[in-house]
Amino acid sequence: MPDVSVLDVRFYNQPIGTLTHLQGDRTIFAFNEAYVENPDRPTLSLSFKDDLGGLITKIRPTQRVVPPFFSNLLPEGSMRRYLAERAGVNQQREFFLLWVLGLDLPGALSIHPAAGEALPPGADQALPENAKPNALRFSLAGVQLKFSAFENAGKGGGLTIPVEGVGGSWIVKLPSQQFAGVPENEFSMMTIAGMIGMEVPVINLIDLDAIAGIPEGIGELKGQALAISRFDRTADGPVHTEDFAQVFGVFPDDKYKRASYANIARVIGTEAGDAGAIEFIRRLVFSALIGNGDMHLKNWSLIYPDRRSAALSPAYDLVSTIPYMKGEDTAALNYSRTKKMAELDADELRHLAAKALLPEKLVIATAAETVERFRQAWQAEKGHLPLADTVVEAIEAHAPTVPLYSELA
């Protein structure tokens, strides 16, 4: 049996490198010569950028998993288990998950078997005979059950989750079996975020019977689903994105570690300027006010509209988590010195600004504006949003415990 199998890595449908699986379950990523020598090459990731702006080409081999940039393209948790079982692939062997899922990855990346459709050697003795590359193309990173979908033409409308083939321009987030009303919660928080000036994609709540192709085997679902337009898909083709776990070269399991919001802010200030910094502070303050304790590294992303320069992507995964995690007001990451939302005051923001090399005046003014806009929008809209009373009550009780809520009012 051959000891080596290869995946071609394509970027905007152009080959830029290979992932090679070696004996001993090791994986090596290497850029090809044409990409390395191209002075106008599109940016794959800031993690491959050295201190002088050059391309890092010496990348450490990994054991069993693939390098962090590629590992973060794969789904996690129950989504990974579900897709791996359907594909007949061991969920821990990431090279073969990429082989199965690689044609509908986030951003402008796609991954193709170099040897065509043949099963890669050494994938798993238990792989079924009908396993084939990209049999399932729902490789949207994250934990929640979510699928790429097409918008249906005609009077019926609705969305279709394809059985095979490259996914569409919408993401469908199905209701949680653990927590009630999560799609409604996210729809409401994203709606308010848009009202107070944040950039959000088009979102809709959709009845489950308006979604064709919901796969079998995911259990009983209750409530509505959330449909979100994919900001990495346009009529002109894909737009590249990367999350901050990729930016910092952190594996998905470490998305709650290894960096702070000040670290994220510094990158955004450097790469996306004041406009990016303002948008970041808005989302950070808003997340504290609504009690969103899950803004980890993978819930912040950069987007590359011109293929080279980074901007902060539209917002996503804005959810009030405090109704489900009662008594827990801890953020996913340190702001600068603390994770406690009850300690997020103007002084903590000043410390974050200094650490991130952002103008203090800009940070405080943006935070104050966000607090004021939130107070107005929340009071006006809380009774009109599809929120359970328990969620409204949790946010009402929580927001005043964040010092910024009164300090900057």
Residues tagged active-site: 294
Interatomic CA distance for residues 75 and 78, integer angstroms: 9
Distances from the Cα of 2 to the Cα of 21, 22, 119, 126, angstroms: 11, 9, 12, 18
Query: With b meaning 16 or more CB within 10 Å and e meaning fewer, what string describes 257-282?
Result: eebbbbbbbbbbbebbeeebbbbbbb
Cβ(10)–Cβ(110) below 8 Å: yes
Bridge partners of 304?
240
Interatomic CA distance for residues 356 and 344, integer angstroms: 16
Cβ(341)–Cβ(402) below 8 Å: yes
Tell me which residue has tokens 């927590």: 179
Cβ(248)–Cβ(258) below 8 Å: yes
User: Is 187 exposed, middle or buried (CB count within 10 Å of its CB: 0-12, 13-18, 19+)?
Assistant: buried
Q: Is 55 helix (H, G, I), strand (E, B) or coil?
A: strand
Give kind and range of the element (H or E) at residue 376: helix 360-381
Six token digits for residue 404:
């910024």
Six token digits for residue 295:
């803004």
Name 228's Cβ contacts closer than 8 Å, sequence gap at least 6: 170, 171, 173, 201, 202, 203, 316
Angle, in degrees to the nearest 10, between helices 182-195 and 261-290: 110
Parallel, antiparallel, or unpaired: how do β-strands 14-22 and 233-234 relate? unpaired
